[in-house]
Amino acid sequence: MKIEVKKSSVLFIVTALIILSAPQNAVGQGEKKHIREGNREYARNNFQDSEISYRRATEKNKSSADAIFNTGDALYKQKKYDEAGSQFSESSKMINEKAKQSASFYNLGNSLLMSNKISESIEAYKNSLKLDPGNLEAKYNLAYAQDLLKQQQEKQKQQQQGQDDQQNDQNRNEKEEDENKEDKNQDNDQGNQQEQQNQ
């Protein structure tokens, strides 16, 4: 037994699929359009305008890791490091491709470093290098951040030592003052006793 499919049925199915997928394609095209606009503005160093375009792309497709990553780049260029870090952190969770995920962690590390969150930046650089061990910039920035952390810790240690020394000096001065008072009191007591004996 042979089943015949009429051409009109196939045409109906194909037409239905096209109609159903059209809104998704329009969303995808809108997202890509805004990303391209953002890229043009970014290339012109119009970082605020590029941010706006990337955010519009994100509105079209909330799961667009590229739009989120690019928004982070635009924010970073505007020196909005905390906001940029949030974007890179979010994109690193959404991306499955190792190279792009490594780039997200690397940029997150840069954002954290610029926000003076040195320990967190070190972790981000390490995560970047786990995914792309050959990234020389991440290696350099990791070493730089580790040196900064070491300097910061030494400075804190010196400050603590200075505070401890100051406290010890203060305690020593107070002790000497107390001893001087006791010596004066003893001298006065002895003087009073001699006066009483003389009388």
How many other β-carbons are positioned within 10 Å of the β-carbon of residue 37? Answer: 17
Residue 88's Cβ-count burial label (10 Å; 0-12, 13-18, 19+) is buried
- Render each residue's pLDDT in the chain as its tens digit; 199 residues: 444 434 444 334 433 334 444 444 444 578 899 999 999 999 999 999 999 999 999 999 999 999 999 999 999 999 999 999 999 999 999 988 999 999 999 999 999 999 999 999 999 999 999 999 999 999 999 999 999 999 999 988 888 887 777 777 777 767 777 666 766 666 656 655 666 666 5
CA atoms in the 13 A half-sphere facing the CB of 144: 13
Query: Which has the closest alpha carbon to 68: 88, 49, 83?
Result: 88
Q: Provide the Cα torsion 112, 116, 118, 121; round to 10°.
A: 10
The pLDDT value recorded for residue 37 is 95
Secondary structure string (H, E, C) spanning 142-182: HHHHHHHHHHHHHHHHHHHHHHHHHHHHHHHHHHHHHHHHH
The pLDDT value recorded for residue 184 is 67
Q: Which run of H or E residues covers position 48?
A: helix 47-60
The pLDDT value recorded for residue 172 is 73
Q: What number of residues does the chain have?
A: 199
In three-state secondary structure terms, 56 is helix
The sign of the CA dihedral 121, 127, 128, 130 is positive
The pLDDT value recorded for residue 24 is 46
The pLDDT value recorded for residue 164 is 73
The sign of the CA dihedral 156, 158, 159, 165 is positive
Q: Which amino acid is at 127?
A: N
Q: What's the whole-model pTM score?
A: 0.68
- The C-alpha atoms of residue 156 and residue 151 are separated, in whole angstroms, by 9
